[in-house]
Amino acid sequence: MDISIIICTTNRANDLRDTLASLARVNRPGRVELLVVDNGSVDETKAVVEEAAKSYPFSLRYLYEAEPGKYAALNAGIRASAGRIIAATDDDARFEADWLERAVDGLSRYGCEFVGGRVRPLWGGAKPEWLAEHNGLHTKVIALLDHGERVREFGRGISWPLGVNVAYRRDVFERVGLFDNRLGRKAGTLRNQAQREWHLRARAVGARGFYIPDMLVHHLVVAERLEKQYFRRWLYWHGISRAMLFQQRGFDMEEPELEHPPHAGEAQIFAVPVHLYWKALRMLRSFVWHMLTRDYAEAFEYELWLCFFAGVVRQRWADRRLPVAAGPASIRIASSAPQLA
């Protein structure tokens, strides 16, 4: 098998049906299989996959993973897959016909271990006026990504690929290990750092990845997520997740990609580095100013950072008696990560 596509899903049978239909139309640069990993669904997910498999243009398999968490499901899919290339996406994505071709070409052309591309929105409702037009914290919440028109290396001035649009060489998981499910989303949480932690671990062993602008996926942004409260909750959990990453790996909570964090060893108040309190005061001042000037979209960006800060404070207080890892070098010995074999 040349390429294995993995979709993890929970109780999204209707969206999954449309995603499978979209994937069936992509060009196939070699032998392709699709694995749908069901992470505890109680709807018609299995029936949707089995019905689609009867006439699917390439191999389509259903797997069930009982351990809660998207990254437990993704790890199970990777272990069960047979492809030399593993492409990951979500159950609410739509694809350009050349999606796989762009991924395979990028891996070959740049001699790298992973590639990712743009993620553009498919609005499931009217785009709110309070969402800023520029890239910002809000784009993390609805999983959008656009680093421009040129090829760039991930982790060098740009963020890592999103899980909805990324492809890996299989052998990189033998070097790096699989994803840490403790840092990823589970029911009742919005934890969101498993993807980032894996890529930081990959960078530590010399694995490289490139942003391929023409490797394009469209991501459905459902109307229920276009509510301010969802954005606030997501950024709060983002703060919790970054604080967990800080405690477990020693990474800077705002910029984990920094190999030499500027605030390492800084004094802390209630287990939170002092500079974050000063930034919170600046963000609060900016939030108030933009509200007074009725620049509500910009004000909301500052409000979201304050939600992030609240999550950091909560988790750091909960972890206040636990030691903090030594910093970026500690990721090299993260032996607790699941292994491929």
Residue 313 belongs to domain spanning: 231-333
What is the phi/psi pair of residue 85, to 5°? -120, 135
Q: What's the confidence (pLDDT) of residue 336?
A: 61
pLDDT, tens digit (0-9, with 9 covering 90-100), for 101-156 = 999 999 999 999 999 999 999 999 888 888 876 777 888 899 999 999 999 999 99
According to DSSP, the residues that pair with 181 across neighbouring strands are: none
Backbone dihedral region of 86: left (phi > 0), alpha (psi from -120 to 50 degrees) or beta? beta
Shared domain check, 216 and 308 = no
CB-CB contact of 195 with 66 (8 Å) = no
Residue written as token pair 């980032």:
196
For position 340, what pLDDT does the model report?
Answer: 78
Distances (CA, A) of 12 to 1, 2, 143, 195, 222: 28, 28, 17, 21, 12
In a domain, 338, yes or no: no
Check whether residue 214 and residue 260 sit in a common domain.
no
Q: What is the DSSP letter of 327?
A: S
Same domain, 194 and 299: no
Task: Tell me: do 189 and 67 sit in the same domain.
Answer: yes
pLDDT of residue 333: 44
Compute and round to an integer the Cα radius of gyration of the chain. 20
- Confirm whether 339 is domain-assigned: no
Question: What are the average pLDDT values for consecutive 10-residue runs of the chain, which has 341 residues?
Answer: 96 97 97 98 97 98 96 98 98 98 98 97 89 80 93 93 97 96 87 93 94 97 92 96 92 87 85 96 98 94 97 97 78 63 69
User: How many structural domains comprise the chain?
Assistant: 2
Among residues 174, 195, 227, the one where a domain terminates is: 227
Q: Do 196 and 105 share a structural domain?
A: yes
**Same domain for 42 and 95:** yes
Residue 7, classed as helix, strand or coil, is strand
Question: Are 216 and 254 members of one domain?
Answer: no
Residue 21 resides in a domain: yes
C-beta separation of 216 from 144 below 8 A: no
Which CA distances in Å does 162 have to 13, 35, 306? 22, 19, 24
Distance in angstroms between the alpha carbons of the first and the last residue of the chain:
18
Q: Are residues 242 and 269 in the same domain?
A: yes
CATH of the domain at 128: 3.90.550.10
Query: What are the tokens at 237?
Result: 């959990």
Amino acid at 153: E
Question: Is residue 100 domain-resident?
Answer: yes
Is the Cβ–Cβ distance between 177 and 341 less than 8 Å? no
Based on the fold, state whether residues 146 and 262 are members of the same structural domain. no
Give the domain-ending residue among 227, 245, 275: 227
pTM above 0.85, yes or no: yes
Q: How far apart (Å, rounded) are the C-alpha atoms in residues 81 and 55?
A: 21
In a domain, 340, yes or no: no
Domain termination site, one of 227, 260, 286 = 227
Tokens of 156: 């060098």
Q: What is the pLDDT of residues 100-115, one digit of tens each?
A: 999 999 999 999 999 9
